[in-house]
Amino acid sequence: MRRAGMVRVVWYQHRAALLGLGAALAGLAAVLVAAGLRGRAEYAYFLRVGCASPGDGLTGLNHCVFIAAGFPWLNHYDSLPGSGTAFPDSVSLAIMVLFVLAGMFLGAPLMSREYEQGTFRFAWTQGTSRVRWCGLKAGILGGVVTLAGAGTGALAAWALVPFNELGATSHWLRGEFESGPATAAGWALLTFMAGVLAGAVLKRVTPAIAATGVGLVALLGAYYAQLYQLLLGFRPRSVPENAAAQWAGPGITAEPDRVGTVPTFIIAGPHQPGPAGALQVSSYYLGPDGRPPAGAAAVRLIMGWNQAGRRYDQVAWLTSHHYSYWINYQPAGRYWWFQLGTGAGLIIVALLLGAGATGLVRRRGARIRSRGARTRGRQPEPV
């Protein structure tokens, strides 16, 4: 079958899911465009009245605080009233939900519906071989999903620029990092291929959809809980930054006799000392001997810090007693390396899942052929 014909077959078979998902994607894109335009207009106003400066976010001028209060949507995490959820978080959540739905309703039925309805007996005995048939279908739809993911990610990144400029959030942080163009493309393909594999294994639509949903939610949960920190904690740089200690007292480790490394994952910026645009991964204290304080040294640090009183006095106490506060960080210039690396890693895993699904189809096809040879002349057995 010619490639154009194959595209038409894929369209006929999956047009309902494609149209549904396309409508949801178009709705999300419209929201993102509107948000991006509105955010840019509000940010331009902040710049014009001198209440924000590029790279430094909102200035601390008194009247600016009240001007900013009039722009809660951009500045005050108010997209879901009363929930404390920011608009950038909602965007990231919506994108991930859309990808999971694509895996469930586009990926999972791809093979399982053929098996369940028995149409594979017809479809896989045509001029196009079963491996080519499945590979082309998964390839065409996977390509569409990847492109849609990359486009959505690029649009989200564009729409969230004003939020990042104001220092309310950052493209490094959990949620927004996954909805960057490269990672979004990777996640889109991965969720789709996970659905395809589940369908090829289970051969029934509803269980495949359920397995895809459960598997993807578990994967995303694990990613947000642990994998994100492992990924972005890869070989960070270290720098002493006593001024940043005012935001993180040593008692934060909640261990009375040890002051260890604390994961932070915050952005260095206008309100947080550290290298500009960097992701602060973790922080730790070093004692006068150049080692992490433990035992009596840790108790002395915690007690001295608590008794020093105000924030700036605490930092002064730290310096005068030869303690130092270090931060581990990823420099701003590494962002795209992490984006591309994560996206490439996700795409490789997705391709492996797709290859696994095609391999299953191929193996089953061989089994059907051999069974057919054994039962030639008799009624074929149901598979």
Partner 1 sequence: MISAAGPDQARASRRPSWLGRLTWVAWRQDRAAAIGLALGLGALALFIYFTALKAHGLSARFQDHCLLLHSPVPVGCATLFPPMQGARLAPLLAPTAIGMFLGAPLLAREYAAGTTRFAWTQGSGRTRLVVTRLILAALATLAAGAGLGWVAQWSLTPDAKDLPLSLAVGWQALPFNATPLTLAGGALLGLAVGVLAGAAARRVVPAMAATAAVGIAVFALSYRLHDRLLGLGARTTRALAGVQPWGRATPNGLISLDRVSGSGSSGWPGSWLSQGWYTGPDGHRIIGGRVPQLMSMSLRQLTGRHISFWVSYQPARRYELLVSVQAGLTVLLALILGALAVGLVRRRNA
Q: Which is nearer to partner 1, 262 or 349 (CB)?
A: 262
Closest approach of partner 1 to the CB of residue 267, in Å? 12
Closest approach of partner 1 to the CB of residue 213, in Å? 7
Sign of the four-CA dihedral 356, 357, 362, 368: positive
* Partners of 237 in the β-ladder: 329
Q: Which is nearer to partner 1, 79 or 132 (CB)?
A: 79
Closest approach of partner 1 to the CB of residue 266, in Å? 6
Q: Which is nearer to partner 1, 174 or 364 (CB)?
A: 174
Nearest-5° Cα angle at 12, 204 to 200: 25
Q: What Å distances lie between residue 143 and 190, 278, 350, CA to CA? A: 11, 33, 12
Closest approach of partner 1 to the CB of residue 337, in Å? 24
Residues in Cβ contact with 372 at an 8 Å cutoff, skipping those fewer than 6 apart: 380
CA 155 to chain centre: 15
Q: Which is nearer to partner 1, 119 or 129 (CB)?
A: 119
Closest approach of partner 1 to the CB of residue 206, in Å? 6
Q: Where do contacts with partner 1 occur on this chain (CB under 8 A)?
A: 16-17, 20, 24, 62-63, 65-67, 69-70, 72, 76, 78, 80-85, 97, 101, 104-105, 109, 205-206, 209-210, 213-214, 217-218, 221, 224-225, 229, 246-249, 252-254, 262-266, 283, 311
Q: Which is nearer to partner 1, 70 or 143 (CB)?
A: 70
Closest approach of partner 1 to the CB of residue 107, in Å? 13
User: If you search the block for the tokens 């040879």, which residue do you land on?
Assistant: 373
Tokens for 358? 């095609």
Q: Are 192 and 351 in contact (CB under 8 A)?
A: no
Q: In this structure, what are the phi and psi dihedrals at residue 89, rounded to the nearest 5 degrees? A: -65, -40
Q: Which is nearer to partner 1, 72 or 143 (CB)?
A: 72
Q: Which is nearer to partner 1, 204 or 321 (CB)?
A: 204
Closest approach of partner 1 to the CB of residue 125, in Å? 25
User: If you search the block for the tokens 């459960």, which residue do you land on?
Assistant: 214
* Partners of 327 in the β-ladder: 239, 283
Q: What Å distances lie between residue 280 and 36, 188, 270, 305, CA to CA? A: 27, 28, 14, 22
CA–CA dist 168, 91 (Å, integer): 14
Closest approach of partner 1 to the CB of residue 212, in Å? 12
Q: Which is nearer to partner 1, 3 or 310 (CB)?
A: 310
Q: In this structure, what are the phi and psi dihedrals at residue 265, rounded to the nearest 5 degrees? A: 50, 65
Tokens for 131? 């491996």
